[in-house]
C-alpha cells in the first residue's frame, strides 16, 4: 500500500494535528517512566517546526475510562518534551472544545502545543464520529506518527483521517520501512528470536515468520509450551495448555519448510515456593540452578535460558545478515533471571554488518534499561502494532492514510 508522507506536502502556516504515542507513565500519578517514545517523535516535530507549521500534538495516556483523571494528565509529559525539544511547548487542558480551540488559535508558525489526554473523552476509544470531527476541526492536516497505536481503530488514529488530508509522519514511515525490510526484502540469512512469557499472543507472528526466516530461536517462558509439546516435563513453569497443539504444529512446519527451529537446550530454574504461583513476583536473592531443558525438576520453574542455549543462539546470529528480536529470554525484571537476556543483548550489539531490529513493548524496555538503544539498527516503538504488522495484518491507522481526501502539495 502506498501512502503519502510528511515530506510530500506543504505545511508552512498550516495547523498540523500530529497523533503521537506518549503513553509513557505506567501508573496513575506516577513519573514519566521512559523517554524513548518522546525521543522517537522529535524528528517529525522538528521538521514541522523548521517548516513553520503550527504543531498540535495529541496522545492518550493510561486508561482513565473516558473521564478526566488528574493522575493521567499529559502535563508531566509536556514538561519532559520541552526539555528534549529545547523549546517551549504550550499545553491545553482539553483536547476538544473551547479550551483546545483557544489554545490552537493562539499558536504561531513554528510553535508547538500538546493537547490533554484524548482518553479523557469516551469518544476516542469508541471512534465516535462526533469526537473525531471535533478533534479534526483543530487542524488543516493530520499526521499519523504514533506507531504504537496504529493497530487501534480509535477516533484519534482512524476517525480524524476521515475529515482531514492525512499523511504518515517520519517515525511511522521509518517503522513501516524497517518492518517491511524483515517481511519483504531482508538480507539473508534472516534469523528471528522470539521470547517473552506467552505464545498465545504471538501465534500469528510465529506462523508468519516461519514463511520468511531461515532460523527461528525460541526462548523465554513461551519455550515451556514447546517443551510440553515435545512431551517434556516442565515442573512448576507457566505453560499455556491451549497453545501446546500450536507449538507442536509450528515445529512440524519448521521442519517441512527447512527452517531451523532452535529451542533451549539448558534452562535456569528456581524452586517455586508453594505460596508463589508466579516466579516474576519473586524478589531479592533467589537460588537458581542450570539443568538440561528436558530434565526440569518437579516444583521448579523455568526462569531463564542457560549458557549453552545462549551460545547456540549466538552461533546462529553470527551467520545472520538480518535479525529480528522480540521478547526477553527470561524474567528480566528479576536480576537473578536476567542473565540470558543480557548475554543475548551483548551478542546482538556486537554483530557487524547485520541489520538488527528490536520489537517494541517489553523488548524495547529491556534495551532502554540497558542503555543500548543506539546500538541497534532500529528499536520499534510499537508493541502490539509491531506484532500485528509482522503477522501480515492490516493496521487500521495505516489503512486510514490511503486517503479519502486529496492531499494538497
- Asked if residue 47 has pLDDT above 90, the reply is yes
- Cis peptide bond N-terminal to 189, omega within 30: yes
* Cα gap 298→285, rounded to integer Å: 21
Read off the pLDDT of residues 261-275 as tens digits, 9 standing for 90 and up: 999 999 999 998 877
What number of other Cβ atoms are within 10 A of residue 209's Cβ? 23
Output the pLDDT for position 318. 97
Q: Which member of 14, 37, 78, 152 is catalytic?
A: 37
Q: State whether residue 275 is helix, strand or coil.
A: coil
* Cα gap 56→95, rounded to integer Å: 10
Output the pLDDT for position 408. 47
pLDDT grade for 409, boundaries at 50, 70 and 90: very low
384 is catalytic: yes
| Grid cell at residue 104 | 490552537
What number of other Cβ atoms are within 10 A of residue 277's Cβ? 11
Please state the length of the chain: 409
Output the pLDDT for position 402. 84
User: Can you tell me the mean pLDDT for 366-383?
Assistant: 94
Q: Quickly name the fold that domain 186-390 has.
A: Rossmann fold (3.40.50)
Q: Which member of 93, 110, 384, 403 is catalytic?
A: 384
198 is catalytic: yes
Q: Which member of 220, 330, 361, 383 is catalytic?
A: 361
- Asked if residue 348 has pLDDT above 80, the reply is yes
Output the pLDDT for position 282. 79
Q: pLDDT exceeding 90 applies to what percent of the chain? A: 87
User: Can you tell me the mean pLDDT for 112-116?
Assistant: 98
What distances in angstroms separate CA 370 from CA 342, 349, 383, one per listed residue? 8, 11, 18
* Cα gap 137→164, rounded to integer Å: 9
User: Which class would CATH give 6-173?
Assistant: alpha beta
| Grid cell at residue 180 | 517491511
Domain with CATH 3.40.50.1260 in the chain: 6-173, 186-390
Choose among 64, 44, 40: nearest CA to 53: 44
Q: Concatenate the DSSP letters of all residues of 9-42 into one string.
A: S--TT-EEEEE-----B-STT--B---HHHHHHH
Output the pLDDT for position 361. 85
- Asked if residue 405 has pLDDT above 60, the reply is no
Phi, psi of 119 (to 5 degrees): -80, 5
Q: Which member of 198, 249, 260, 375 is catalytic?
A: 198
User: Can you tell me the mean pLDDT for 167-190?
Assistant: 94
Q: pTM of the entire structure?
A: 0.91
Amino acid at each position: 500500500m502506498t501512502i503519502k508522507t510528511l515530506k510530500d506536502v506543504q505545511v508552512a502556516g498550516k495547523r498540523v494535528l500530529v497523533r503521537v504515542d506518549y503513553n509513557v507513565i505506567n501508573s496513575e500519578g506516577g513519573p514519566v517512566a521512559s523517554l524513548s517514545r518522546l525521543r522517537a517523535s522529535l524528528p517529525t516535530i522538528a521538521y514541522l517546526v523548521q517548516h513553520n507549521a503550527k504543531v498540535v500534538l495529541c496522545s492518550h495516556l493510561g486508561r482513565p475510562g473516558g473521564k478526566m483523571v488528574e493522575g493521567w494528565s499529559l502535563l508531566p509529559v509536556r514538561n519532559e518534551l520541552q526539555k528534549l525539544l529545547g523549546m517551549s511547548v504550550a499545553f491545553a487542558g482539553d483536547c476538544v472544545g473551547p479550551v483546545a480551540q483557544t489554545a490552537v488559535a493562539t499558536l504561531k508558525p513554528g510553535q508547538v502545543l500538546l493537547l490533554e489526554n484524548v482518553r479523557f473523552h469516551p469518544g476516542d476509544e469508541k471512534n465516535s464520529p462526533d469526537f473525531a470531527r471535533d478533534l479534526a476541526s483543530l487542524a488543516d492536516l493530520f499526521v499519523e506518527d504514533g506507531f504504537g497505536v496504529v493497530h487501534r481503530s480509535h477516533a484519534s488514529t482512524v476517525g480524524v483521517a476521515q475529515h482531514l488530508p492525512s499523511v504518515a509522519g517520519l517515525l511511522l514511515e521509518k517503522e513501516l520501512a524497517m518492518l517491511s525490510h524483515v517481511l519483504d526484502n531482508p538480507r539473508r540469512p534472516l534469523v528471528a528470536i522470539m521470547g517473552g512469557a506467552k505464545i498465545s499472543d504471538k501465534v500469528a507472528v510465529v506462523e508468519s515468520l516461519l514463511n520468511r526466516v531461515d532460523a527461528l530461536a525460541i526462548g523465554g517462558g513461551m519455550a515451556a509450551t514447546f517443551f510440553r509439546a515435545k512431551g517434556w516435563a516442565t515442573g512448576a513453569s507457566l505453560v499455556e495448555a491451549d497453545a501446546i497443539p500450536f507449538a507442536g504444529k509450528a515445529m512440524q512446519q519448521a521442519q517441512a519448510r527447512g527452517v531451523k527451529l532452535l529451542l533451549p537446550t539448558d534452562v535456569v530454574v528456581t524452586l517455586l515456593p508453594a505460596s508463589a504461583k508466579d516466579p516474576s513476583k519473586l524478589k531479592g536473592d533467589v537460588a537458581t540452578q542450570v539443568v538440561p531443558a528436558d530434565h526440569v525438576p518437579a516444583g521448579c520453574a523455568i526462569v531463564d535460558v542457560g549458557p549453552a542455549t545462549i551460545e547456540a543462539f549466538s552461533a546462529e546470529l553470527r551467520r545472520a545478515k538480518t535479525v529480528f528480536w522480540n521478547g526477553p529470554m527470561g524474567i528480566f525484571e528479576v536480576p537473578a533471571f536476567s542473565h540470558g537476556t543480557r548475554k543475548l543483548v551483548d551478542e546482538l550489539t556486537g554483530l557487524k554488518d547485520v541489520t538488527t531490529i528490536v520489537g517494541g513493548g517489553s523488548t524495547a524496555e529491556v534495551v532502554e534499561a540497558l542503555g543500548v538503544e543506539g546500538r541497534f539498527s532500529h528499536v520499534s516503538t510499537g508493541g502490539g502494532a509491531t506484532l500485528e504488522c509482522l503477522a501480515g495484518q492490516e493496521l487500521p491507522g495505516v489503512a486510514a492514510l490511503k486517503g479519502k481526501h486529496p492531499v494538497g502539495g
